[in-house]
C-alpha cells in the first residue's frame, strides 16, 4: 500500500481478512484503498467494519464518521464524532467532525463551539474553518463567511475545500473578478483538474473576454492534448463564438498532428453539426481504413452507421451496427442505436 501498488495491496489484505475477518487494521486499509479508488460506498463499509471490530481505534471511527457525514446522515456521523472526541479529546479532527455533524443538524451554537475547539488545538484545521463559515452562511451573513474563508486561506493557502467554498461565495455575491481569481488559483493548486480551466474559460467568455478565454483554452489543450473534456469544450467554444467552420479548422490542425482517434470523432461531430455529412463520412472512412486499433475501427463503423441513418437509409445503417455487435456484443452505443431503430 505504501508503495502505491493498490492491486497487490488489495489482494494481500483480502487474504489476511480470510484468515481473520475481524482484523480492524486490515479492514481500515481496505477502506483507504477504496477511498483512493473513489469507491466511497466500499470505503465507508470497510471503515465501519474496522470501527466495529475495534471500537477504540481513532482513525477508523474518524474516517467512518467523515464518510457517513458525506451521505447526509448527521445523527450517525455525530455518534462517530462523540466516540472520536472521547478517544482523543486533544485532537482537533474529532471536534471538527462533531461541529460539521451539528451544523448539518442545524444546531448552530453547538457547531460553532466545536469548530472553535478544533481550531484552538489546530489553527490550520480546514474542516473546522468550513464549519464556522457554514454557520455564518446559515445565519445569512455571507460576507462574514467569506471573511472566515479568507482568513483560513492565509493559514492553508492550498486548500481546495476552502477555495471551492470561496468560489461559491464570490459567485453568489456576483464578484466576477474574484471568481476568475479563485478559478486561476484552483488551477494552480490542482493543474490536472481540467474542470477548473474549462470553468475559467467559460467565465471569461461570459464576460465577453473572448481572446482571454481562447488563450486559456489553447494553453490548456497544449498542456493536455489528450483530454476529451478539454478538446470538446474548446471545440464548443470555437463553434459558438467563431462559428463551426472555425472549430473545424482548428480541430483539423490538431488531428493532423496526432493519430489519436478522439480528434477524428470530434471533427466528425463538427461536420455533422454544420450539415456536412459527406465530409464526415469521408473522414470516418479514411480513418477506418488507416487505423490499426480495433476499438477505433469499431467506433468509426458505429459513427458511419449513425450518419447513414441520418441520411435516411436505416437498413444499411442497421447492417453496419450488426457488423459491430457481432465483433463486440457489449458495444453499448451500437446496441442502443440499433434498439432506437
Which residue did the predictor score with more confidence, 2 or 201?
201
User: What pLDDT digit, counting tens, does each position of 119-151 carry?
Assistant: 999 999 999 999 999 999 999 999 999 999 999
pTM over 0.85: no
Cα–Cα nearest to 134, from 154, 113, 112, 160:
112
User: What pLDDT digit, counting tens, does each position of 217-253 carry?
Assistant: 999 998 888 888 999 999 999 999 999 999 999 888 8
| Three cell numbers written together for 56 | 477504540
* pLDDT for 256: 73
Which residue did the predictor score with more confidence, 34 or 182?
182
Residue 257 has pLDDT above 70, yes or no: no
Confidence of residue 7 (pLDDT cuts 50, 70, 90): confident
Q: How much of the chain exceeds pLDDT 90, in percent?
A: 78
User: What pLDDT digit, counting tens, does each position of 68-117 carry?
Assistant: 999 999 999 999 999 999 999 999 999 999 999 999 999 999 999 999 99
Amino acid at each position: 500500500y505504501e508503495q502505491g501498488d493498490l492491486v497487490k495491496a488489495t489482494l494481500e489484505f483480502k487474504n489476511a481478512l480470510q484468515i481473520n475477518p475481524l482484523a480492524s487494521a486490515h479492514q481500515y486499509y481496505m477502506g483507504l484503498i477504496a477511498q483512493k479508488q473513489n469507491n466511497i460506498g466500499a470505503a465507508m463499509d470497510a471503515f465501519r467494519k474496522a470501527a466495529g471490530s475495534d471500537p477504540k481505534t481513532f482513525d477508523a471511527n474518524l474516517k467512518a464518521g467523515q464518510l457517513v457525514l458525506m451521505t447526509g446522515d448527521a445523527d450517525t456521523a455525530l455518534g462517530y464524532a462523540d466516540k472520536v472526541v472521547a478517544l482523543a479529546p486533544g485532537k482537533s479532527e474529532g471536534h471538527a467532525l462533531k461541529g460539521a455533524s451539528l451544523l448539518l443538524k442545524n444546531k448552530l451554537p453547538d457547531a460553532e463551539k466545536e469548530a472553535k475547539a478544533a481550531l484552538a488545538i489546530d489553527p490550520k484545521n480546514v474542516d473546522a474553518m468550513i464549519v464556522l463559515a457554514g454557520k455564518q452562511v446559515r445565519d445569512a451573513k455571507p460576507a462574514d463567511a467569506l471573511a472566515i474563508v479568507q482568513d483560513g486561506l492565509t493559514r492553508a493557502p492550498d486548500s481546495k475545500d476552502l477555495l471551492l467554498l470561496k468560489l461559491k461565495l464570490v459567485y453568489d455575491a456576483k464578484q466576477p473578478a474574484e471568481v476568475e481569481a479563485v478559478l486561476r488559483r484552483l488551477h494552480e493548486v490542482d493543474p490536472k483538474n481540467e474542470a477548473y480551466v474549462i470553468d475559467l474559460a467559460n467565465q471569461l467568455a461570459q464576460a465577453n473576454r473572448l481572446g482571454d478565454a481562447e488563450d486559456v483554452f489553447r494553453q490548456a489543450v497544449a498542456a493536455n492534448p489528450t483530454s476529451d473534456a478539454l478538446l470538446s469544450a474548446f471545440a464548443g467554444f470555437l463553434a459558438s463564438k467563431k462559428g463551426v467552420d472555425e472549430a473545424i479548422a482548428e480541430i483539423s490542425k490538431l488531428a493532423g498532428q496526432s493519430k489519436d482517434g478522439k480528434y477524428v470523432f470530434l471533427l466528425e461531430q463538427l461536420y455533422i453539426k454544420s450539415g456536412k455529412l459527406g465530409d464526415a463520412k469521408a473522414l470516418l472512412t479514411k480513418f477506418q481504413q488507416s487505423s490499426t486499433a480495433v476499438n477505433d475501427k469499431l467506433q468509426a463503423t458505429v459513427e458511419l452507421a449513425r450518419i447513414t441513418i441520418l441520411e435516411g437509409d436505416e437498413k444499411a445503417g442497421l447492417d453496419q451496427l450488426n457488423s459491430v455487435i457481432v465483433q463486440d456484443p457489449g458495444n453499448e452505443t451500437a446496441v442502443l442505436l440499433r434498439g432506437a431503430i
